[in-house]
Structure 1
Amino acid sequence: MPRAHGAPWVRTRLRTAPWSTAAFGVLVLVTAFLAAVLPRAVEAYGTDGLRAAVATAAPASTVLELKTPQPVFGRPGESRAAEVGPRALAEVDGRVRALLPAPLEADPAESAYGVRTGKSLAALDASLPRPDGLPPRFTLLAQSGVAAHAGVRQGRLPTAGTVTEDTRTVEGAVTAETARTLRLRAGSTLTLAGFPDRPLTVRITGVLDPRHPRGTYWSAEPVLRAPALNGNGGRPPQFYWEAAVLLAPGAAPALLGGQAEPEKYWRMAPATGRLTGADTAALVEAVASVEDGPGLVRMRGAAGPTAQLSTALEEVVGAHEQTRDAIAPVVAVAAFGIAAVAFVVLVMSSGLAAARRDAEFALLRARGGSLGGIAGRLLAESAVPALPAAACGLLLAVLAVDGARPLPSLLGAGAVTLFACAALPVRAAVAHRRPRAHRERDDVALARPGGRRTVAELTLLVLTVGAVVALRRRGTGEVGDPLVSVAPVLVGLAAALVLVRLYPPPLRWAGRPAGRLRGAVGFLALARAGRSPAAVATLPLLALLTALTTAAFGGSVLAGVADARDRAALLRTGADARIDSTDGSPIPAGLARAVRDVEGVRQVTAVGFGLASERASGEARSLRVVGVDPESYAGLARRTGLGGFAAGRLDGGGGVLGAVASPGVAERLGRGPRRIATDSGPVRVRITAVRPRTPAVPDGEFLLVDAAGLKDFRGPSTLLVAGGGLDAKALRAAVRGAGSGLSAALRTEERAALSDSPLQTGAGRIYVWAVAASAGYALLALVLGMLRTAPERAALLAGLRTLGLTARQGRHLLALEALPLALLAAGGGTAVGWVTVRLLAPGVDLDGLALAGASGGEVPVRAVLRPDGWSLALPAAGAVLLAGAAALAQAWWAGRRTPITHLRAGDTR
């Protein structure tokens, strides 16, 4: 190869084909952006999910409470009083927070420390409420930071003064809810038993309003914010009130002189601001360390040898980790799909570029050019646009998703850059290993695959079979199993290779009858399609099929998730809205009329519930009886798809009521008339239909009868509302206006609750990206393939125009030439996508992605993967329409150019 400077050669080549260089740079930019943003998005939704899991969990579950029992007796009273003083507790609090192992951090705003009674004290005051004759009990807390966390509604904050172990009168404060429940106010006194010489008197000096009542400060102690009814464990149980009183921090020594088992405590609310998704495992290890490990040893060095730390934070983090692990394999399928489609399109781009410049490379080799020299210059030529494009893609990914580690994104963008730069040199070096005098024809219609390609395809087929078997046996529950995750992509690639082999014969067969037609357009179009180089035809087809299969699979996943959530929300409410009487009493008479007047309501169905008993094998068993209006309820059941039936099924005769029953009830009662004892009186029923569920009882056993046939029926206690676009505010206003003791649940709100977790939202967003990226790559592959042959087609069209071909015939010719490849890709992509989804559906578990927001066993629904018609049809139809539009656009553009330009189109001399 002649000696030359690399830079002038590279610059000359880039100036020769500026549009190709720009298109290659855009392809690398988009691909690098996807490769960089995907790990950032996964880490971002993992971070948001972990923070949300800790922040939204009950404070009593997430708080880290370090406590020590009361100081040992026998020491001087001044020494023990000093140990529970505010200064000593504050010093220990500072040391303990500093000892928390990373990534555990305490939130100072919600953390607190103090002294509390480990055993509640009984109140001797007769004026306090006693539900079952038992006196209320109070927990006393001398807790820090009361002034910063509460406002004073009445009175003032308590003060301490000089308090010792012998002090029997202290000041305290209660929350407004405690004061209202126990009839306390500023100036009230509490007399508490549990001290040896005389009771402890607590003067209530203030009633407080918590500033953040749901925060850890107020909610870590169960009864600090609001009193609770507790049972004494007897048979039958007797209940009493359990409440809390806040003392001044300096009043803690007064708790040492009694039998209330006082204890020092330090409550540390976990800070979530610096947690990341990668901290999940480290957070579990840190909690285990401070609970029973090296961290606890260090804590005891600061708080005392008997200190113990307790928390349920590891359970909260474990639940988050379980949900994340259930979602991760499904997300991995989307990630592998995007990566495979991007890889195929990059290979196709380099292959088309090498095919376009095949004559140039052959000439260089014939003139003595070395493979290393050609590959080096091609590498430099590719690197000039690829490096800045990849850098821009990485920058866009960092700007799009912040708060993630840079290394995974850097590695992803770097891998794309390396592959994009090396694809063309490697392809050219492989194709021109030996110099050749001329290029042999490589028509797609006459192509005969070689032995190496056959071996490679058989290897891919074996891998595909192994991946499908592994997925169907093990499912997507195997986190980090690449063979399982790549199964949909392998199925698409294998099917694409089969269709590529099947593509040439139909072209040859169709050309013969087309040649006998009167017009020449059809024959020319098929001949042109068959004489296209194999690389030009098969690479776009391979890219199209892979992209369409990935898009179809991703769209089917999204559709399956949406269907499962819709079904779960419907099973929670039974209709578009459900209004229940919380205590089972009949709903107000005018409520149904008020609900019918709400905008969007089409139907209101009243339902009443009762209990019945029947004897089977000498044993009495209870039944849930549902009384309904047959016509209205049957219409609702058919509309919702929950066990629809004809209204006549509830007709009776001869003193026997027709009934619709669940399978379990039908099996017990049989199909003949049966007498049952209801709370409305004895009735005889005959089961006329069996349904697994019904709108009133979507997830339990039931016996559905006509309410008019029940004697002394108490009336409906539930309203089932049907209608699209319900006005939620107006509906709730109507319920509130009907009185207290009513609750309303809307199907749309239940649906939103199933998909509002950051893990689900983030994973769903990635699947949307996967579908969009796959569809975009499919269209890009089609455009690149058509641009590769655009000069040749323009030259052919110009030559035929000089022989009398009309502009209309030219448009038909180009459209028909593009049609075989587009139709094969569209039809094959649709069929392969359908087969892929059906083949892999048994092994794909979508429950974690779809129903992670539902509590266990709450909804009897499974998210099932099944083919989605829109996901199969839209990308395929888009490919066909784009192919036709591109052909027509090229014919229009060719019609605007001069004859000389037409005839020299594609001529490189």
Structure 2
Amino acid sequence: MTLRIGTTRSGGPLLRLRATAPAALALAALMLVTAFLAAAFPRGVDAYETRGVRAALTDAAPDQRMVQITADGADATAQALTPRVMDRQDRRIRDQFASPLRISSADAAHGVRITAALPASDPWLPRPDGPDPAFSLYAVSGLARHGTVVQGRLPHPASHGASTREAAVTVATARALRLRPGSTLHLDGLALRISGLLAPRSPEGPYWAVDPLMATAALVAEGSPPLKRWRAGLLLAPEDGPALLSAKEKPERFWRYPVDSGALTDGEAPRLRAQVRSLQHGPGLVRLRAVVGADGLAESAVDGLLDGFARTRDAVAPVVAVAACGIGTVAAVVVLMTGGLAAARRHRELALLRARGASLPGLVGRLAAETATVALPAAAAGCALALLLVPGERLLPALLAAAGVGLLGTLALPLRAAAAHRRTRPGVRTDLAAGRPSRRRTVAELTVLVLAVAAVVALRRRGTGAGGVDALVSAAPVLVAVIAALLLTRLYPLPLRLASRPAARSRALTGFLALARAGRAPAAGLPLLALLVALTTASFGGSVLAGVATARDRAALTAVGADARLTADKPLPPALLAALPAVPGVQDAVPLRLSTQPADDNGPPLYLVIADADGYARLSRATGLGAFDAGALADPGGDRPLPALVSPSFRTRFGDAPMALQPEFGQIVVRPTLVRADTPAQPGGDFVVVDARSVARLHPDTYADPATGPSVVLLAGSALDPTALRTALRAHTTVPTQLTLRSTTRARFADSPLQQGAERLYFASVAAGAGFALLALLLSLLQTAPERTRLLTGLRAIGLPPGQGRRLLVLEALPQALLAALGGTLTGAATLSLLGPGTDLTPLALPTTSDPTPTTAVHLQPDLPSLLLPSAALLLLALTTALLQAHTAQRHAEATALRAGEPT
């Protein structure tokens, strides 16, 4: 006869929950937090990728985030160039733009322009080297919206048959070319009178910045030999567009549409790229030509910007996926451990039900109903909280992740109970020291080993920089941790057996009893797995974050050369060079001369660095950029070549033979003596460093001339004061200078929303993994807490002193704590050594537009604090928890003794 579970005295699910309210609340809290993290992770990825794709467009130059349409106007009729026709075509073009191709209507413009500048023959115009100034003509819409009239008025359309037309110029153009309202320009048959001066309302906006000549005049060098001439733009009324047909240069119709990325999401980026490419080369171009004519063309750099973003995103994603896989595994193991703890707590109850005839499916169904009433609502609440607090685009991944957490939380207890009570006969104790692995376990372990080896080989051969997320590659650290857990579980009984023999011969009770209990403890597979995966993920993540920080520090140092770099186009005055060492925070100031020398082999230029050898060597040692002995550059005297420090590429190109260089103060002959890959003065390239004293001896007169003095100063100091430096510059020089700080340069390397978001998500994943590891440790100790309390109570009753009771619990917990801590450290080190060469941190550490671009990839390296600190914290926490348990058990034993009427 089969007993129905619903008719037992244990009651229904709700009655059971009321009876175990603390455990139910703990399960609900775990489900809430786990579901929140599971749903928030994909939402967080969506959020930083969306910010990244928007920044990729908004941070680009205005002409790069623009869709520009042009059509030949030379064969068009005058009617086709009128504002009415151009406006109608503008509306039809906009109707073809569908989401996600959104445009900023306020900054859009269209009109007619000439394709080449027209020279002006008026004699009163400035001519620096003789050629006439040249003007580009624009009959553009929206001039009144984007410019403020400073003097005069906007140009009016010319009347029919008028010989002179009106044009406006910006204030900057008028100042450069000495124009004013009423000035008349004659441009190859066109007479244009300046009607007014305008001030652009947004000079950096797309309306003015796409074609800089509209906003300001430029002095350009043309011809051979190059001669300087002025180039500028004249702004006509839109109604005068047909008049450009009479110019010698052919006119061109144009439409400019800035892409609005304010509402763009990462999921829309591929469709936007496809739409832009369709306008340039596909069906969109066919529809466009139906509006503007058969010669219409569309140009845009938006698709290239999106391609660059996609490459960076695909390179960052595999590194982030490793963190996601690690924290997901730890969270799943903790949920399973929670079910195991509940199954162990209810072991006698469930065994009694099975003994009285309860069916296994009925038992599983009843337990699933109990846990579902807690796990599913809590998981739903966590998912709702994530959707509310974390912005994101996609809803389905978050829902599936939270649903998976709820399902796992629902089935953890029933599955563990089903495994433990599959048979009704009494269970067999599985001690650590005496247990022997079964054949099934051996097969499972070999399978995991094969997967781990395949994952490691795939990651080392393919690397994370190949783009795209591969599940096997992302799970490589987790698989290595699983193998380590299985290996440690097999090896752990051996030291216990070896240590128990001398402890058995000892008279002391505490050591023998602690080792005996540690050997009889059940095999802690899940707790050890959770701790090793968490420690490996923490070590991996900490090393990733440390590697990112180190790469940015190195890149900033290489770009600047020191803590600060002062650069000028002209030699710096001696008064400033003397004042810089006294500026607060400056520990060292090394002036130098940096010049570019042409190469005889028509290859890249050579960078000649002339600096005091002692000071430059001191700076090189302090920065770690090509440290050398100053004595190696000592003056050889006579006419012998000067010893030089050169780059490896210089030596490859020119060998060790003496070479003549021609700086501005005279010829010097150098001979390579030292080879260094880096040097503070020049980040990369082919450089040559010589001692300033040697050059001064060869050219005492010309070298001492202040007109050829140092133009670069490298400043070292951990507490540089930028304000004091700028004050010294204003006080001692009028030469335009540029102050570059290492701290500012490093901050620029980390300002990409994509890198920032991925780094924050990685840090959050590591922190969450550490939290789950802490919870796993507490759960493993709570599972044996009642039995330890009973043991200590019994030993206390027969006279065991309190101190020995505390030592007993600490020594009992120490072997498994040491196993997890030591195993976590070794597993983390092995994981980093195996996976480091295939983990490329360059996309995460440095933006793709960083300058200078790193010549070598930034690979993952083991970080000692990231390896040791998590394991040390785990060991300390385990021992602290054991002491707290001993204190609690001691108080319980004293209370029991008092109730029995015994003296304490």
Query: Following the alignment from structure 1 to structure 2, what is the Cα–Cα distance between the partners of residues 109 and 244?
Result: 22
Pairing 1:735–2:729 present: yes
Alignment partner, residue 348 of structure 1: 337
- Give the counterpart of 2:441 among 453, 458, 482: 453
Q: Give unmatched runs, 5+ long, in structure 1.
A: 194-198, 905-909
Aligned Cα RMSD in Å?
2.6
| DSSP-derived class of the 2:12 partner | helix
Aligned-pair distance for 1:490?
1.1
Alignment partner, residue 525 of structure 2: 538
Query: Following the alignment from structure 1 to structure 2, what is the Cα–Cα distance between the partners of residues 371 and 430?
Result: 10
- Give the counterpart of 1:130 among 122, 127, 132: 127
Aligned-pair distance for 1:278?
0.8
| DSSP-derived class of the 2:216 partner | coil
Aligned-pair distance for 1:269?
0.6
Q: Give unmatched runs, 5+ long, in structure 2.
A: 900-904
* 8 Å contact from structure 2 (residues 330, 772) kept in 1: yes
Gap change, CA 1:142 and 1:478, over 3 Å in 2: closer
User: After the TM superposition, which of the residue ranges 851-860 and 307-316 deviates more from structure 2?
Assistant: 851-860
Alignment partner, residue 70 of structure 1: 73
Alignment partner, residue 226 of structure 1: 216
- Give the counterpart of 1:53 among 56, 72, 83: 56
Deviation sequence 1:210-258 (CA, Å, 0-9, x none) = 22211111112242222334454x4333343222122222332322333
Aligned-pair distance for 1:795?
1.1
1:641 partner letter: G
| DSSP-derived class of the 1:897 partner | helix
Pairing 1:846–2:841 present: yes
Gap change, CA 1:279 and 1:810, over 3 Å in 2: same
Pairing 1:709–2:694 present: yes
Deviation sequence 1:622-678 (CA, Å, 0-9, x none) = 854322122221111001001112222222344354433323445677668777665
1:797 partner letter: L
Aligned-pair distance for 1:466?
0.7
Gap change, CA 1:766 and 1:171, over 3 Å in 2: same
Alignment partner, residue 642 of structure 1: 625
Query: Following the alignment from structure 2 to structure 1, what is the Cα–Cα distance between the partners of residues 528 and 64?
Result: 56
Gap change, CA 1:542 and 1:902, over 3 Å in 2: farther
User: After the TM superposition, which of the residue ranges 34-43 and 298-307 deviates more from structure 2?
Assistant: 298-307
1:647 partner letter: A
1:523 partner letter: F
| DSSP-derived class of the 1:590 partner | helix
| DSSP-derived class of the 2:379 partner | helix
| DSSP-derived class of the 1:223 partner | helix
Pairing 1:444–2:439 present: no
* 8 Å contact from structure 1 (residues 68, 303) kept in 2: yes
| DSSP-derived class of the 1:513 partner | helix
Deviation sequence 1:272-321 (CA, Å, 0-9, x none) = 12110111211111101122222223333333444322212111111111
Pairing 1:699–2:684 present: yes
Aligned-pair distance for 1:716?
1.4
Alignment partner, residue 549 of structure 1: 536
Aligned-pair distance for 1:414?
1.0
- Give the counterpart of 2:6 among 4, 7, 28: 4
Alignment partner, residue 217 of structure 1: 207
- Give the counterpart of 1:596 among 581, 600, 607: 581
Deviation sequence 1:493-548 (CA, Å, 0-9, x none) = 111111121122222221222233332122222222222222xx222111100110
Query: Following the alignment from structure 2 to structure 1, what is the Cα–Cα distance between the partners of residues 812 and 18?
Result: 31
Aligned-pair distance for 1:413?
0.9
Query: Following the alignment from structure 2 to structure 1, what is the Cα–Cα distance between the partners of residues 730 and 269?
Result: 43
Pairing 1:563–2:565 present: no
Gap change, CA 1:319 and 1:856, over 3 Å in 2: farther
Aligned-pair distance for 1:571?
0.8
Alignment partner, residue 251 of structure 1: 240
- Give the counterpart of 1:520 among 509, 520, 537: 509
Alignment partner, residue 29 of structure 2: 26
1:581 partner letter: A
Taking structure 1 as the reference length, the TM-score comes to 0.92
| DSSP-derived class of the 1:104 partner | coil
Deviation sequence 1:51-90 (CA, Å, 0-9, x none) = 11111111112211123222746x6xxxx33x43334333
Gap change, CA 1:31 and 1:3, over 3 Å in 2: closer
Alignment partner, residue 907 of structure 1: none
Gap change, CA 1:416 and 1:614, over 3 Å in 2: closer
2:544 partner letter: V
| DSSP-derived class of the 2:861 partner | coil
Aligned-pair distance for 1:722?
0.5
Pairing 1:39–2:42 present: yes
Gap change, CA 1:704 and 1:856, over 3 Å in 2: closer
Query: Following the alignment from structure 1 to structure 2, what is the Cα–Cα distance between the partners of residues 509 and 66?
Result: 82
Alignment partner, residue 191 of structure 2: 201
Query: Following the alignment from structure 2 to structure 1, what is the Cα–Cα distance between the partners of residues 99 and 754?
Result: 23
| DSSP-derived class of the 2:859 partner | coil
Gap change, CA 1:50 and 1:586, over 3 Å in 2: same
Pairing 1:465–2:453 present: yes
Gap change, CA 1:202 and 1:333, over 3 Å in 2: same
Aligned-pair distance for 1:615?
9.0
Pairing 1:421–2:410 present: yes
Alignment partner, residue 186 of structure 2: 191
- Count of residues in correspondence between the two structures: 884
User: After the TM superposition, which of the residue ranges 295-304 and 776-785 deviates more from structure 2?
Assistant: 295-304
Query: Following the alignment from structure 1 to structure 2, what is the Cα–Cα distance between the partners of residues 644 and 522?
Result: 56
Aligned-pair distance for 1:607?
0.9
Query: Following the alignment from structure 1 to structure 2, what is the Cα–Cα distance between the partners of residues 525 and 902?
Result: 24
2:729 partner letter: V
Pairing 1:237–2:226 present: yes
Query: Following the alignment from structure 1 to structure 2, what is the Cα–Cα distance between the partners of residues 551 and 513?
Result: 37
1:373 partner letter: G
- Give the counterpart of 1:94 among 77, 86, 91: 91
Aligned-pair distance for 1:563?
1.1
Please give the residue correspondences for 1:568-583 in structure 2 after superposition, counting only pairs within 5 Å.
568-582=555-569
* 8 Å contact from structure 2 (residues 796, 893) kept in 1: no
2:432 partner letter: V
Query: Following the alignment from structure 1 to structure 2, what is the Cα–Cα distance between the partners of residues 235 and 208?
Result: 35
- Give the counterpart of 2:276 among 287, 298, 315: 287
Gap change, CA 1:93 and 1:421, over 3 Å in 2: same
Gap change, CA 1:168 and 1:526, over 3 Å in 2: farther
Alignment partner, residue 799 of structure 2: 804
Alignment partner, residue 318 of structure 2: 329
| DSSP-derived class of the 1:744 partner | strand
Gap change, CA 1:303 and 1:472, over 3 Å in 2: same
Query: Following the alignment from structure 1 to structure 2, what is the Cα–Cα distance between the partners of residues 890 and 394?
Result: 35
| DSSP-derived class of the 2:583 partner | coil
1:463 partner letter: L
2:741 partner letter: L
Query: Following the alignment from structure 2 to structure 1, what is the Cα–Cα distance between the partners of residues 744 and 605?
Result: 33
Aligned-pair distance for 1:21?
2.2
Query: Following the alignment from structure 2 to structure 1, what is the Cα–Cα distance between the partners of residues 847 and 841?
Result: 10
| DSSP-derived class of the 2:262 partner | coil
2:815 partner letter: P
- Give the counterpart of 1:782 among 777, 780, 788: 777
* 8 Å contact from structure 2 (residues 559, 851) kept in 1: no
2:120 partner letter: A
* 8 Å contact from structure 2 (residues 559, 852) kept in 1: no
Deviation sequence 1:715-739 (CA, Å, 0-9, x none) = 2121001111322233234335522
Gap change, CA 1:666 and 1:525, over 3 Å in 2: same
- Give the counterpart of 1:608 among 593, 611, 623: 593
Aligned-pair distance for 1:129?
2.4
Gap change, CA 1:91 and 1:320, over 3 Å in 2: same
| DSSP-derived class of the 1:866 partner | coil
2:40 partner letter: V
Alignment partner, residue 423 of structure 2: 434
Aligned-pair distance for 1:811?
1.9
Alignment partner, residue 373 of structure 2: 384
Alignment partner, residue 825 of structure 1: 820
Query: Following the alignment from structure 1 to structure 2, what is the Cα–Cα distance between the partners of residues 304 and 652?
Result: 73
Alignment partner, residue 721 of structure 1: 715
- Give the counterpart of 1:394 among 348, 369, 383: 383
